Structure 1
Amino acid sequence: MARYYVETYGCTSNRGETQQIERALREGGHRPASSPQDADVAILNTCTVVEKTERNMLRRARELDEQTPADLIVTGCMALAQGEQFADVDAEILHWDDVPEYVLNGECPTITPDTETVLDGVTGILPIARGCMSDCSYCITKQATGRIDSPTVEENVRKARALVHGGAREIRITGQDTGVYGWDINQGESLLPELLSRICAEIDGDFRVRLGMANPGGLHGIAEELATVFAEHDEIYNFLHAPVQSGSDDVLADMRRQHRLEQFREIVATFDRHLEYWTLATDFIVGFPTEDPGDHEASMDLLREIRPEKVNVTRFSKRPGTDAAELKGLGGTVKKERSKAMTDLKMDVVGEAYEAMVGTERTVLLTEDGTADSLVGYDEAHRQVALPNAQLQGLTVGNFVDVEITGHNTVYAMGEPISPPETPTAARADD
């Protein structure tokens, strides 16, 4: 479990970006540190309004570089517009959206015994288990968490109910590998479909449920049952995060992933059969030590073929104590070039998905503040939708609202309300 320290400068937009970064890190099991000295990673979200501000940002970046024993990430407006100014700082310059993936490093979320539910505004984060059944050669998480350790379905339903009673309108289910939840207490069979069904059937109130990362190896055996549960319950976002990591079976074997491409494709085909409108999120690690040019091109081909609506691209980074760290790595230039090529393709693929949304009508749950008077939320497939001037129209976080999608900005859509907001229905206190 990484400890992160974040400092944010500038406008409301920057603060909103930091909020999203922190939410993603908390979902991954990471926790805030009280100072940069206590952190495993420090994040500086910069502003670049005037020259004095720029000087202050450079000064603070150098200070954090000295104070933080591990990694420093610089993001925000100055980093993106004037990244060369930070050349003498030992820092990674990243776009806001890329910060969580860099910190998570392509690994599973780190759910440990002290990881509890978190209520962040109207979003409740529910860790359903800790540990996993995988042994990926590049992942350090397993050393911290061990094998799967699952609370009962009843216990997780109780925690989900408490989140809804506490004001959650969105429950984000997380774990190292949600697909193998229950293997340890149910004779090697997943309890995930049962858990999702019971959360939806037994908890009163208006809320949505987003399932967190599930490795294809564990998903494959329950894909039919899980897709059926998704189709039966409107409370569940039609969203599946299944990290494939490579388009080469040879590289997957070297990574010690427990799936192969045929299984991944079968999972996607199963959800295609059951759901007309859904989001596939997946991850790729580029520049794994044994990835040759043909393997990289195979990953690019898979991305073109599957066309997921959300893609995380991570450059391979050696983690101490892992088997992959002992392999002779590829040069930084090679990894950077491959990462850029895949990121460019990713933007084309994702942009195409959001372009196809324009002109459609969606029901959006508003979950967070945006810039100025805008609000941000998610539609039925957990695709992000921003509503400009939403607060001026009487909308608030926690509203369900029907919107027309009027445009997009590659990785999120923009919409306009077409009906009054739905009044929230409170859960019964005696549930």
Structure 2
Amino acid sequence: MVSRFSVITFGCWLNKADSDIMISRLKALGWEYVEDIDLADVIIVNTCAVREEAERNELKLLGKLGKEYPNKKVVVAGCLTRVRPATIKDVVPNAILVASHGVELIDRVVNGDLDMYVFDDRPMTYLPTYYPELHGHRYVVPIQVGCLGNCSFCVTKIGRMGFGRVRSYGKDDIIRAVRDAVSRGAREIYLTGQEISAYGRDRGYDLVDLLEELLRSVDGRYMVRLGMMEPLELSKIIDRLIDVVKGDWRVYRFFHIPVQSGSDRVLMLMRRKYSVELFRDIVRKIRTTIPDATIATDIIVGFPGETDEDFWASVKLIEELGIDKVNLARYSRRPFTEAAYMEQVPEQVKKERSKIATEVFSRVAFERNRLFIGRELWGIVSEIDFKGENYVVRSYNYKPIAVRKAYIGAFVKVRITDATPQRLFGGLLEGEELGVKYRVDFRLSEGLDLVS
């Protein structure tokens, strides 16, 4: 009898990639993947520990699974298993825990007879297999794990046991996996990791080397999205990376660079390894060379010790640089972190600062998006929006554009008619919803144009 399994994923794109590795490993052994947990013999929950709210949601779900499916095997993987193992066991006594980097060895877990597995190292051997019926047109591939930082607020360094050390997948393995995915229909390639700007530090090459070789070796019509890049490591490769991004239409003009605070004093308390000025220099380089590039960042408000002056420094930095998208988070106290034992900012103050920052950051994003009204942008039809009302086109600079009718995975050209802080709105140019093939003509001063 073939065993059936289902996977529920919380957290970041790296967690998504880890879930895909687990799916690939079990399918290769003859297991059947099912989305409906009612049909599954084994339910795998891949957890995240970054924020307290996520932890509450995960524990609530685990408790529900334990009560509703007492006869099913529940496997809990991901960061929360190392951070809250006893709590998970209290909620689901029969749960099987996979701590640290066990995702690549998931077959040992589901076929074993222990209730906790701790793997000290990650083999860096298995990459996700691309399954069109599961992944659609998007292939998420992890390129590295670990981080060279040791931030005072970060619980991921406990959950993944990767602080101070980076482990990278080999270039050849990544390129081989991407080539296979593209040949079978993948149109968006997400390169993800904990800190992809540090990719290859353990192998003698870097992210730019990987990107150049991938673009040279993998033919086809696809778009590459780069994951989060920490400012200090990014600064070492930014000039070469800009050259690659502006020189090949297949790389999204998108940079996710988390600054976390606009105050050097707070960055020091966070134990971040860069200054505000370094972040500012990186953004200015990108803006000067690729004016249409989308720049996203992360800001934490209410970090322990943050004063009003520190808070407003963050707000003013976003205004000054015209950041396209800010992932704003109120500081969340996490176990086993140094920041948890610092003097905390009152919750009400955090809420007030978050409200102010949300309003300002939305205005900045709206002003940035308004610049595209009336323009024609090309991109790829990426997904259906969360309401199910529109299709979302990701433009060449990763701007989300809502359109009424399209085909997922098609390259299209859109005339922008309106904008909000979150997205653009537009209409497909006549005939382009049919997925007609185009050649790409890159004109930096005019943006990117599709010509038949």
TM-score by length of 1: 0.72
CA offsets per residue over residues 243-287 of structure 1, 9 Å max, x none? 000000011011111111111111112112321310000000111
Change (3 A) 1:235 1:40: closer
2:63 corresponding residue in structure 1: 67
Q: Contact between 1:122 and 1:168, CA under 8 Å: does it hold in 2?
A: yes
The one-letter amino acid paired with 1:418 is: L
1:305 corresponding residue in structure 2: 320
1:375 and 2:364 matched: no
Q: Contact between 1:171 and 1:210, CA under 8 Å: does it hold in 2?
A: yes
Alignment of 1:26-425 (within 5 A): 26-27=15-16, 64=60, 67=63, 112=101, 114=103, 116-117=127-128, 119=130, 120-143=135-158, 144-146=160-162, 147-186=165-204, 191-370=206-385, 371=387, 374-388=390-404, 390=405, 395-421=406-432, 422-423=435-436
Shift of 1:419: 4.0
Change (3 A) 1:341 1:4: farther
CA distance in 1, matches of 2:253, 2:268: 30
Q: Contact between 2:129 and 2:177, CA under 8 Å: does it hold in 1?
A: no
TM-score by length of 2: 0.69
State the identity as a percent.
Answer: 32
Long gaps (5+) in structure 1: 7-20, 43-60, 70-109, 426-431
Q: Contact between 1:111 and 1:129, CA under 8 Å: does it hold in 2?
A: no
Moved over 4 A (4+): 3-6, 21-42, 63-66, 110-113
Shift of 1:65: 8.2
> Which structure is higher in RCO with an 8 Å CA cutoff and minimum separation 6?
1
Shift of 1:111: 9.7
Shift of 1:179: 0.4
CA distance in 2, matches of 1:112, 1:41: 13
Of 268-277 and 288-297, more deviation after overlay is shown by 268-277
Q: Contact between 1:153 and 1:191, CA under 8 Å: does it hold in 2?
A: no
Change (3 A) 1:23 1:218: closer
CA distance in 2, matches of 1:66, 1:375: 33
Shift of 1:159: 1.7
The one-letter amino acid paired with 1:377 is: V
Change (3 A) 1:4 1:341: farther
The one-letter amino acid paired with 1:175 is: G
Change (3 A) 1:27 1:384: farther
Change (3 A) 1:304 1:68: farther
**3-state SS of the aligned residue for 1:414?**
strand
Change (3 A) 1:219 1:372: closer
CA distance in 2, matches of 1:343, 1:28: 30
CA offsets per residue over residues 357-383 of structure 1, 9 Å max, x none? 110000020011245563112001000
**Greater C-alpha radius of gyration:** 2
Aligned residues: 342
Shift of 1:165: 2.2
Shift of 1:225: 0.8
CA distance in 2, matches of 1:111, 1:404: 47
